[in-house]
Structure 1
Amino acid sequence: MVAAMEEDEKKQQAEVMVTPGEVLGRVSDVKPGRGAYAAVHNDTVYASLTGFCRTMPPSPDSSDQRPTVEVTGHKAHGPVPQPGSLVIARITKVMAKTASADIMCVGPKSVREKFTGIIRQQDVRATEIDKVDMHLSFRPGDIVKALVLSLGDSRAYFLSTAKNELGVVSAESIAGATMVPVSWTEMQCPLTGQIENRKVAKVAS
């Protein structure tokens, strides 16, 4: 009984509450598990969701003897954006250099927590980056398909639409109709025929 209580106490001490972007350790010391990821540019392991962090020892027969750090969410587990994930997001705000979005799906699964994404001017498209006009690329309410680049500084994920198949997949015209893509940079309202600018995602044929 005493041993069990001591074990519970150790477990509670080992589990620490963390939030996205919090440093969990160095890649040389620990391996990222569920709810954690390693940033290549600085070899640091970060938390990717809010929850309890715990460290698990390696199995004795493993060639990699680093312990694994994982973060288990305080809410029911849903998918969590990771660098390299494809996400579907709704644009909420467009500014001169960035657009903000709420991430709705990671891959085919809907998220259960709120994750914010930011698309920076340099990540909108692959060419003529300095000529990108954010207001001609996205509008609030647009649904975009994007790639998660990294966890940014403000607890928001940096997203990219710089590939042909990424960008706006659904947009509503000023008249309230779902627009049809007519080129890489334009969508047309089927009701009024009016054309609006967007960074359009290429539809798989």
Structure 2
Amino acid sequence: MTVYGSLHSAFGPQHWWPATGSEEMIIGALLTQNTNWKNVEKALSNLRRNDLLSFHYIIKTPLSQLEKMIKPAGYFRQKSLRLKTLAETIIATGGLDSLDLLTTLELREWFLRQSGIGPETADSILLYAFKRPVFVIDAYTLRICRRHNWLNDKDNYRKAQEFFTRKLPLKVDIFNEFHALLVQIGKNFCRTKKPLCQECPLEPFL
């Protein structure tokens, strides 16, 4: 929690995930795979402008039109098909309210069974759309943890997730903020090449 406090003091509240509702958040989670958020924002803006930030409307939209809308996010053919399939599957199960009745483990397993959804995307959806206390691990988090010797190079996603779950109070708001704050460190200081360690708020913890 000392690390969390230092990051919160340095960056302030992050208000992540930037979405107006759970459906938009889930759509964004699929679009952000293998691209940066600026590209996702362009794709989301296209969808919003055409009133397509809804599973029902995505289902009704021809695949070719959906591809054009999300093209800025890259891999648009693959992502449009996955997005359409996921929207259809969620609606067929009774919608998000129906899925929300599942336990956290059941919900995670359900999303992991869907095409194109791996642990990071599934956990992002659980944390930000369903408000479940599941810590999201991404490349930034792993890099920071390894450089600070909180984890070793062989530790995988599950080990990293267990580390944060063990160290932090099991609270959605803390998991939410901490993950977003680590992303700020990864983007601005703990870079793959030429990290800015001396300027980093986490430098005292090295």
Shared fold per TM-score greater than 0.5:
no
**Bigger share in strand:** 1
The structure number with the bigger radius of gyration is: 1
**Bigger share in helix:** 2
For the superposition of Structure 1 and Structure 2, which TM-score range results when normalised by the shorter chain?
under 0.3
Specify which structure has the bigger relative contact order, considering alpha-carbon pairs within 8 angstroms and separated by 6 or more residues.
2
